[in-house]
Structure 1
């Protein structure tokens, strides 16, 4: 059976959920071979094996932490040359998409970004994508070289399927360009205790209708009652009510959770581009003609300042 390379996203040896989803998708196409780079790489093997990795290739060189992007491209190129995989799967984060594009150029292949599903085809993997702000769904495949595909978080459930997960060292020769951009300092992001926005299964977002930074507390309360992340529309971010890192939309982050709740968001195309692939969409808006209602599964016409706190309280009561 063909082998599928999976680039592992981890933090200090803790494997992030999108990687486990990639392993699940990779099993549809062949035998997953995980590639883990950086410190604590060896600590990931047990988890990766639990989710189907037949082999785990590791390299803990300091270059992966000290320099940006290129060392990772060098390593993935080495993995492609060592394994000759049928495809390379990469999480759809901002950095990983740059890694994927550079890798595809290096190996003379094509790249597909932001896939929402993968299936085996007669001539290689077939990727499902959303186009034109998710107005259309397309199916694409790479027709030259080894396909490199980035996949959006929450595109598939992470399903365990225990495999060997044998650990093997990956030999990497770093290119001259690898030291081009050095990391000189890091500032840890303050933790909110909430899941990462792009990885969250539930996202609650507020827009212009929230009418002030102080009122985002009710959006946060609903998100916390559901164990979800907090998002914001561009209008709310531009007004300074919430950080840009939480912006959902074409110029912000793209999310695809199981549940997306839009509160006080009109539904402009810019926002829809970042959330329209969500599995279930709920909108709360006092304007019955708001464009957001054209794409929702459930819509509530009402004042969010009454609806959102009542919903939060009901969730807390039912959870006991």
Structure 2
């Protein structure tokens, strides 16, 4: 409902009393005083309601603050890190999630930063963090880390001008608590500032199918050819798989979908029957191309 309207007295019982002077003992003055008191009380109630309620019937923005909540309600979520503008939480055991639904275009988190003040913004300098995703964790039964431990941080790599706006991405390595630059875009591509992992080598002692997480494979099947079932090339365009042979027996594909390094028609051959042979296969979307090896 809309905001209530303040009452207005449009009749004077005092005047009526004066008109009836000597005719009746009508208490017009007292009645007007009582009605005026009712109007004053109604006005104050409407004014007080307007302090917390909008004209559309909903609570005003920013009127519910932590001190208005009960201790039990406040205990539902722990105190947030300093500077928190919005804290979200779900019921115990339920994943908290923020979802952006978009159709025909991307959903996006946007970070903006300027140095200086809102009234006098200045350009970013080299190494200025622009924005990031941070994760805090509980390290015992009560406390959270005071600063973030897992980070993806976006920073400048040069002083920004209208024509120079280099940036980098940082993350926190294992066994550390500080973010380090992991990659930077250059004019020729992407510069990795730290090493990256594609998983550990996996040794096979029998025929096998390449798993989605397999990148480095070692054949150690004794006494016979090792047959490898490669993933469908069309499902993994651009994927790389490196295979090494520890046995004096060939390594072949279960299907004729491997193109030799010299080119030509796809065959099943991957590695010759020589220990130490290796080859890197890359999917072109149709077959697996041998791109490197010996």
- Shorter-chain TM-score above 0.5: no
Q: With the length of structure 1 as denominator, give the TM-score of the two structures.
A: 0.20
Larger gyration radius, structure 1 or structure 2: 2
Higher relative contact order (CA 8 A, sep 6+): 1
Q: With the length of structure 2 as denominator, give the TM-score of the two structures.
A: 0.22
